[in-house]
Structure formats: C-alpha cells, structure tokens
C-alpha cells in the first residue's frame, strides 16, 4: 500500500495542529509510523487519502454501529440540517430521543443530554456527589472516563491510597477525592470504604474498553452493586462504549446489574457529538432546574445530533443485529486464535458481543495489570500488517475493536487473509 498523501498531510499538519492530530491515539505513537488521514467511509469500509480501502473495525470507536453513512441516518440528518444547525433552545427531537433512551434502561426515569462522553461522566459524578452529599469517588485502574481532571489519575503504589495525577496540568488537589481500585477485585473497593466514610460512589466501565476489552469475572458487578447499597453509595456505569452494543440498552442488562447512574455517548447520536447521563427520578431531581446541581450546555440536545440518534436507535431496534454480532464476533475470534496457533504466537482474545481485543500474551487478562503483560511490540507489527492488507484497527493494544451491522462475508475473508499474513510476520520476531 502507498501512504504518501497521508505522510504529506501529517507533515503539513504538524505546523498548526498539536502532533498533527486532535486526539493522542490518532498519532500512532504506540505502533510507530505516521498516522493515516481518512477521506471517506461507507458501510463497513473506510478509505484514506491515498484511496486505500479498509474493513473498518474502529467505526469511530463504536458509534457507527449500523456502518458508515447509513441511508436512514443520513436522510434524517440532512432533513434536520435544512431546518437549522443549532438553536440554543428546546426541540421536540430531544423529547423523542429521551424516551427511546429511558425505555431501553431499567430504572432510568430521566436523562440529560450533553455533548460528549467526557461531559456525561463529569456530570454523572457531580450528580452522585450531589445526591449522597459525599465527596470521594472510586475508579478502577485501566478504566478511562474522559479527560476531566478528577479522573486523570494513576494507581500509585497501593490500592488503598489516594491517587496521584496522571497528567501534567492536573493539580493534586483536583484528584484528592479520587481513589483507585483494581478491576475484578471487590476487596480493593472494600479497603477504601474501611478507610473513608465519605465515598459517594464507584464509577466503572461494565466492560473495560480502554484496557483492551476486560470482562467482569465471577459476578463482580453484582457483588459490587450489593456492597455499595449496603454502604449507601452509588454505582455509576460508564456505558459510553458499551451502550446499545450488546443489547438494545446497556451491558448492565447482559451482566444482570442495574446502575444508579448511567453515562452514555457515541452511539446515541449516530456518530454526531452527543452524550447523556440518566438515573431514577429521585436522583435526577437533583439536576437544575429541578435541583441544586448545576450543569448546562448551549449545544446540548443539538438538533442534528438528536436526529442522528433517533434514526440510529430506531433502525438498530428494527435490525436487532445482536445475534449477528455474536456470530460474526465468534468467527473473528476463532480466526485470530487458530491463526496464532498455526504460527505458534501466544495470543488470547477477550470478547463481549460486538467488542473484542486480542492480547499477545499467554496470560488471562482480567485487569489492567494483566493486560500490560501483552507484547506491545508484537501488536505494533500485527497492526501495520493488518493495515497493509486492508483491515483498519485501533492503533493501540489497549483499545477495543468494534463490529457494525454492515460487515459482510467478503469482509470476513479479507480479515482472515490479513490475519494470516500478520501472524506470520509476528511469528518471525
């Protein structure tokens, strides 16, 4: 494949863009080489500026669940666009999408739309503090909840200690009320409650999608929720990635747990900028204008995003592609594992419905520490061989892959052929 135009744009972008990108993962830092610049997409395919075609397993990190430029979503967005871009006022579409979202989640009586997953999580945490009157929040190492100060933290040396800032520009005071626990380890949560009496709640990705798809083990989520109830603390589910991906609703349903506050993003706007947080009536009564927890946004409930969300979720419910996702995901998983075995490459695959990720390790991966046993150099080689053979992947070992309902049998054949060449290359390291 030829990447000359992407390389030229990268060099040009360095002048006025930070690192020539607007989000760090796009810089390809962890896999080496220059980033690709994309020109267009349609269905299951994405095309770069050099006209290379790829089967897309990034799909904008999840929201293009129907594939790119689905005709019904595009039609709805164009219709809304003709009426105006933004009003800074309420529209009927907000009410329609709110009902669809609330109906999909048990015990979600009200929802507030925002503009991103980061905004949704920031607001959800503020809401937990407002409702409980407590300050501290527990998060899990390896779970990413947006770039807000309070959650950009590293675990430090012990699970029962206060966190330290994980980014320059984040003062220690901004994270003094954030505690770190280990995913799939309830005892690490209990240790914090033994030490502090002002914990408002725990925030978690029901499926860890920012450490390479990590799945809760042995009823971890159920036991976590029960424990939090006994402590009068809230469970906050960050379903920005998992919302509407494993079922029409959230991963909570599949995992048999109901969060107190749910944060959403990505898919509920059909690819347009959107986020949301919702909860039962008594919790949402805290939010202004009903209560004293202030949160606002001029572009919240943007009419274009609402139209994209309504059409996406309506079509998603009609298609009900979840059995298909399970079938295709299983096929891709087998291809990865059998090809790795063929070339004597250590590999495990974690998958939850339409989210999946391979780790170049022989160890089981149930938390971030175990995920870090994966050989990232092998992943980098694998990544570029997949790219060169027509499969577009996230440029990081620790980012989830996503399926979409436009994937075809031909796409699976392309994936299988690319995987064979990539594993062969890895085996030679």
What positions carry a catalytic annotation? Answer: 144, 238, 266
Pairing of strands 178-181, 136-140: parallel
Helix locations, 86-168, DSSP H = 92-104, 117-132
Are 119 and 280 in contact by the 8 Å Cβ rule? The answer is no
Q: In 3D, which of 281, 308, 312, 382 has the Cα closest to residue 340?
A: 382
Measure the CA–CA gap between 74 and 307, rounded to whole angstroms: 9
* Distance, CA of 130 to CA of 51 (rounded, Å): 51
Single out the residue of 238, 280, 293 nearest to residue 127, CA to CA. Answer: 293
From CA 303, how far away is CA 115, in angstroms rounded? 12
Give the three-class secondary structure for 162.
Answer: strand
3-state helix, strand, coil in the chain (%, to 5): 40, 15, 40
Instruction: Give dist(CA 378, CA 32) in Å, integer.
Output: 12
Residue with tokens 């809304």: 80
> CB of 268 within 8 A of CB of 309?
yes
> Who contacts 143 (Cβ-Cβ below 8 Å, separation ≥6)?
183, 203, 204, 205, 208, 210, 211, 238
Query: 365 near 212, Cβ under 8 Å?
Result: yes
């Amino acid at each position: 494949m030829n990447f000359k135009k992407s390389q030229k744009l990268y060099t040009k972008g360095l002048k006025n863009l930070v690192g020539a990108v607007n989000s760090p993962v796009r810089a390809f830092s962890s896999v080496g080489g220059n980033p690709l610049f994309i020109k267009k997409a349609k269905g299951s395919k994405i095309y770069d500026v050099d006209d290379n075609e790829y089967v897309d397993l990034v799909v904008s990190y999840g929201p293009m669940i129907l594939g790119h430029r689905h005709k019904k979503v595009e039609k709805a967005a164009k219709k809304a666009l003709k009426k105006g871009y933004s009003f800074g006022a309420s529209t009927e579409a907000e009410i329609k999408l709110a009902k669809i979202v609330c109906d999909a989640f048990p015990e979600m009586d009200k929802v507030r739309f925002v503009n991103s997953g980061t905004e949704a999580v920031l607001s959800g945490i503020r809401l937990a503090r407002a409702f409980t009157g407590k300050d501290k929040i527990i998060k899990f190492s390896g779970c990413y909840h947006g770039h807000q100060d309070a959650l950009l933290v590293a675990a430090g040396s012990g699970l029962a200690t206060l966190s330290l800032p994980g980014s320059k520009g984040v003062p220690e005071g901004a994270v003094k009320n954030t505690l770190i626990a280990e995913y799939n380890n309830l005892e690490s949560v209990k240790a914090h409650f033994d030490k502090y009496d002002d914990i408002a709640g725990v925030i978690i990705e029901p499926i860890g999608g920012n450490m390479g798809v990590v799945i809760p083990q042995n009823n971890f989520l159920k036991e976590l929720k029960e424990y939090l109830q006994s402590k009068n603390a809230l469970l906050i589910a960050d379903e920005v990635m998992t919302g509407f991906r494993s079922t029409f609703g959230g991963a909570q349903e599949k995992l048999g747990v109901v969060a107190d506050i749910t944060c959403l993003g990505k898919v509920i706007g059909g690819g347009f900028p959107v986020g949301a947080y919702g909860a039962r009536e008594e919790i949402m009564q805290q939010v202004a204008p009903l209560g004293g927890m202030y949160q606002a946004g001029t572009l919240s409930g943007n009419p274009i995003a609402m139209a994209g969300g309504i059409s996406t979720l309506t079509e998603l419910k009609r298609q009900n592609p979840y059995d298909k996702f399970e079938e295709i995901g299983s096929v891709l998983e087998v291809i990865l594992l059998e090809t790795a075995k063929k070339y004597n490459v250590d590999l495990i695959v974690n998958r939850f419905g339409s989210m999946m990720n391979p780790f170049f390790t022989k160890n089981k991966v149930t938390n971030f520490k175990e995920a870090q046993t994966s050989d990232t150099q092998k992943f980098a080689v694998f990544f570029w061989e997949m790219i060169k053979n027509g499969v577009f992947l996230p440029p990081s070992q620790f980012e989830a892959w996503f399926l979409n309902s436009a994937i075809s049998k031909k796409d699976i054949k392309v994936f299988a052929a690319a995987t064979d060449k990539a594993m062969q290359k890895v085996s030679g390291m």
